[in-house]
Amino acid sequence: MLAVHLISFYFSKLQEDPTKEVDRFLYSMRLHDDQLRAISGRFENEMKKGLSAKSNAAAVVKMLPTHVRSTPDGSEKGQFLALDLGGSSFKVLQVKVRDGMGIRKGGVDMVEETYPMPENIRTGRASELFDHVSESLKDFLQKKNISLEKKHPLALTFSFPCEHSTLDQGALINWSKNYRARGLLRKDVFQALKEAVDRTGGMDVEVLALVNDTVATMMTCGFDDRNCEIGLIIGTGTNACYMEELRQIDLVEGDEGRMCVNTEWGGFGDDGALDDFITEFDREVDAASNNPGKQLFEKMVSGMYLGELVRLVVLKMAKVGLLFDGHVSEALRTKGKITTAHIAAMEDYRNGLKNTGDLLMQLGLSPSTDDCIAVRHVSTIVSFRSSNLVAAGLAAILTRVRKNRNLRKLKITVGVDGTLYKTHPQYPKRLHKVVWRLLPECLVRFIPSESGSSKGAALVAAVAQRLASQRGKVDETLAPFRLSLEQLQLVKMKMRAGLEAGLKTKGPSTIKMLPSLVYRTPDGSEHGKYLALDLGGTSFRVLLVNFKKSVQVYHKIYTVPMEIMQGTGEELFDHLAECVSDFLDSMGLKSTPLPAGFTFSFPCEQTAIDTGILVNWTKGFKATNCEGQDVVKMLREAIRRRNDFDLDIVAVVNDTVGTMMSCAYEDRQCEIGLIVGTGTNVCYMEETKNIKKTGQKERRMDDEMERESRDAEMPRMCINTEWGGLGDDGSLEDIVTPFDDEVDQQSINSGKQRFEKLTSGMYLGEIVRHVLLDLTRGGLVFKGHVTEALKTPGKLQTPCLSEIESDRLALLQVRAILQQLGLDSNCDDSIIVKEVCGTVSRRAAQLCGAGMAAVVDKIRENRGLDHLKITVGVDGTLYKLHPHFSRILQESAKLLAPQCDVTFLLSEEGSGKGAALVTAEARQKQDV
């Protein structure tokens, strides 16, 4: 009795307001924004599961890597064949991508032919299906008078989920869309097609790419809009793809750049994630499908099922007397009698009610006006829910892309294809409005794919061909920088020969091997206060070092302007004296005479511990009237000219020697100093007996016994190698590139310090700039546009290389760095720039490692040891700040000197503390 009253109530309300009654009947299909945000959040979680190697196997949203790494940039060109397979018919096309047109002016010309795909072929053996495709391809070539002898690159749009290992390999996961061909599941689709082409014969086809229709849609739209990085299909089925950061895809090796991920989002909800949103009608559709429990999201939104959902709702409403006076026709009971095309017709702006009435009468019903209004509203609710669910899924993708790129605002384009989106009169507008409402922080543009997925497949092949060509040219450019083990061993051998030659009194040597007159490393007995002056680059440090139980260091850094560096010697040393005066003022020490050590980071010949004759400037210095002069004397004269303080300069020390001494104070095994910063150099403790060219002021030791006595008392001396000069005689020509030559020619000391120009921070940025300039002129980066920034010497500094090569830096941040330098780059450009930086800096580290191997092996052999354990004190911004330099240098040294156990110790206080230690040693020696 209650049921009769309820039916009467529903019926009376329907008479009064048909749409409101339908709203109540289908309230569970009417989703508000909070529900959509919840669904979006759930889908975002499912995406994470699919991307993770740990959870992918159990994930219902598969997130399949496609190995499509780039969208079109407008430079693609060539002729391609394309196959588009996925429906009741398939297409064969010839696609011509016009070259030299630019992204907006470029064009694609297509010739196509449609071939049937009979049901017996779709459900028979896979070999028969691909034989049919291959024979149709040959028929197309013959019909269009396309040469059968010429090799044709081919791309296949395959609208079924595949697991890709490469762009041209894909194993079928499962069939859908009424395809059930036997013998292909988990097998390579490419191989099946190739075997069919071979069986058909008479064609020369190279299959370049296998792509999903969603990916092809993104590529098609990406040719017209560079911001298109999402593809969406809403037709018979539904799916979405997007460009994911490669570092987030566990199933693919590598972390640089992006890759298109085919979400296969139709399976969303198969694990119960949508159970609270699934209605009885959805369950009925699912139960009657050929894959119950699968593709639940697709069954709620796609064109293959919407008509059936509407039919089931209308059928139930009729059964309970809410429609057609309770009359149910046989046609209304029949599955498939209402299609998505009917839904589009019912929701037509002008003729929707008439179309609804016509359909209902075709179904053997006699609808009233209210019946037509109600049925039309059912259709609206079902299709509106579809667009809302798609919007929720898109919102999850957009949110992920925005977060990946760390953007506050995201500007992006979605390429869309599918009959539901294209033919339904209101679907696109509804979808767009909901996406914009859910994500106001995203500027989303939707563009329909005009040429379908066929063009996209050809563009994937074109992009793959472009990238392969680009890759080959980049590899060719960078090949000379990639040193083999044999080349590194040869560098080690040449460094060793240079070290030996430099120790001799006679004969030329590009490695100066300058005696430092420092005979021992610290022993911990040093005490007292010392001043240390440190000149080595664009800065000058003044330090007060107090050796007590612990070392106390106070310092101040002063800049050395370029006009001072390249002015007169008097101006340079007057500037240094002014800085010392300021420091003493700030410390209240102007009236307190302190012993001082002078770290002077340029090659000097020392005739005494407090005398240093400048051999030549390096690191960009070119002050006049200094080379050949005693730099300590020049500083003393500058101090006398000021006449406001006095200084007792006890020792002059190279910065490398200072670094060794500083680290030896912490580690008694430290007998080598290494600088890799603006410049590069090494010092080490050499056997005194091997040093033939000491210039110390002392009487000649003609008596061999007296010489042996001295060597026994002071068996070793620190040698400042000045190894940056290796190669000045042309001995490194076999590894020097044209880019290195350009940097050398533009330097202020052309032909000098060739090893330093291959390895040090002052020059690496310039080498990279010249390489990028060459790649740009070849059209391989920056769209071939040579900017003023790229032509400007010094624009790309080595600290930028360190930043760009950081493992923590996403490509978007690399692009931001390049934009600050006036270089407008895309993702592919950023990958190449990062590779160039890495290749140049890796070579530098390997060369330093080869040089270090020569030094440690020499020390080992000097001491007659089978195995040497030794520490290297290291300073320099390149070594300290570059993310990979130190590791590569250490690995190279270990590889090339396997009998040496080398520890690298960073100098915390730099060479200034070392100068103070040398001064302390010299003062104690004077006091004895």
Question: Rounded distance, CA 463 to CA 74, Å?
Answer: 9
Q: Burial, 66: exposed, middle or buried (Cβ in 10 Å; 0-12, 13-18, 19+)?
A: buried
541 is catalytic: yes
Q: Could you tell me which residues are beta bridge partners of residue 528?
A: 547
Sheet holding 64-65, edge to edge: 64-65, 258-262, 238-245, 228-234, 410-417, 442-448
Helix axes 126-143, 189-200, angle to 10 degrees: 60
Pairing of strands 900-906, 868-875: parallel
Tokens of 812: 């978007």
Q: Any residues with CB less than 8 A from the CB of 909 and at least 6 apart, and which?
A: 543, 545, 551, 553, 662
Half-sphere exposure of residue 478: CA atoms within 13 angstroms, side-chain side: 23
Could you say which DSSP state residue 182 is in?
Answer: B
Q: Which of 655, 744, 828, 857 is catalytic?
A: 655
601 is catalytic: yes
Could you say which DSSP state residue 38 is in?
Answer: H
| Torsion angle defined by CA atoms of residues 704, 709, 714 and 717, in that order, rounded to the nearest 10 degrees | 0
Backbone region of residue 342 per phi and psi (left: phi > 0; alpha: psi in -120 to 50; beta: other values): alpha
Question: Rounded distance, CA 403 to CA 827, Å?
Answer: 16
Question: Rounded distance, CA 560 to CA 912, Å?
Answer: 17
Alpha-helical regions (H) of 485-566: 485-503, 562-565
Q: Which of 601, 760, 841, 907 is catalytic?
A: 601
Tokens of 230: 């999402």
Helix (H) or strand (E) holding 280: helix 280-288
Question: Rounded distance, CA 713 to CA 693, Å?
Answer: 18
Q: Burial, 588: exposed, middle or buried (Cβ in 10 Å; 0-12, 13-18, 19+)?
A: exposed
Helix (H) or strand (E) holding 295: none
User: How far, CA to CA in Å, does 779 sit from each of 4, 69, 281, 477, 774?
Assistant: 78, 19, 57, 13, 9
Question: Rounded distance, CA 127 to CA 190, Å?
Answer: 12
Q: Phi/psi at 683 (nearest 5 deg)? A: -130, 160
User: How far, CA to CA in Å, does 31 sit from each of 39, 297, 300, 392?
Assistant: 10, 15, 13, 11
Question: Rounded distance, CA 85 to CA 419, Å?
Answer: 16
Tokens of 415: 């390429």
Alpha-helical regions (H) of 405-513: 419-423, 427-438, 452-478, 485-503
Q: Phi/psi at 675 (nearest 5 deg)? A: -115, 125
655 is catalytic: yes
Which residue type is seen at 668?
A: R
Q: Which of 122, 311, 385, 541 is catalytic?
A: 541
Question: Rounded distance, CA 857 to CA 840, Å?
Answer: 26
| b/e 110-121 (16+ beta carbons within 10 angstroms → b) | bebeebebeeeb
Residues acting as catalytic residues: 541, 601, 655
